[in-house]
Amino acid sequence: MPASLDTVFAALADPTRRQILTMLLEDDMAVTDVADPFEMSLAAISKHLVVLAEAGLISQEKRGRVKWCKLEPDALRDASVWMQAFGQFEAIHLDAFEAFLEHEKLTTPPSSQD
């Protein structure tokens, strides 16, 4: 079952996890290689990797003695589709719509209820 949007967005909310995903864009990486650029313990990185895996954003597999991480780009599909729905609204159009509503509110007399 795919991860919920809440789980995906919660995983993406952390800058460390976003950086890990960016690193995995290039290729699969061993957990120790993922941890190298960060100034935190391997245990802390492992916790970030668990969050990403639970969100379906990465998968992990053991190859010999080494645990490898792989980006799972399909996990972002639902989030991307959800966000694209908002792409139809441009800031300029929303500003104009808000100005129109404000103008209508000021120029239209309130309707009387009899």
Q: With 50 as the cut, is the pLDDT of residue 98 above it? A: yes
What would the mean pLDDT of 91-107 be, rounded to a whole number? 73
Domain at 1-107, CATH class: mainly alpha
Percentage with pLDDT > 70 across the chain: 84
Between the alpha carbon of residue 81 and those of residues 51, 87, 89, the distances in Å are: 22, 10, 14
Q: How is the chain split into domains, by residue range?
A: 1-107
* Of 49, 53, 47, residue with least CA distance to 3: 53
User: Each residue of 1-19: pLDDT tens digit?
Assistant: 456 889 999 999 999 999 9
What value, to the nearest 5°, has the Cα angle with vertex 83 and ends 88 and 68? 150
* Model pTM score: 0.72
| Average pLDDT in the chain | 86
For residue 111, pLDDT beyond 90? no
- The average pLDDT across 64-68 equals 95
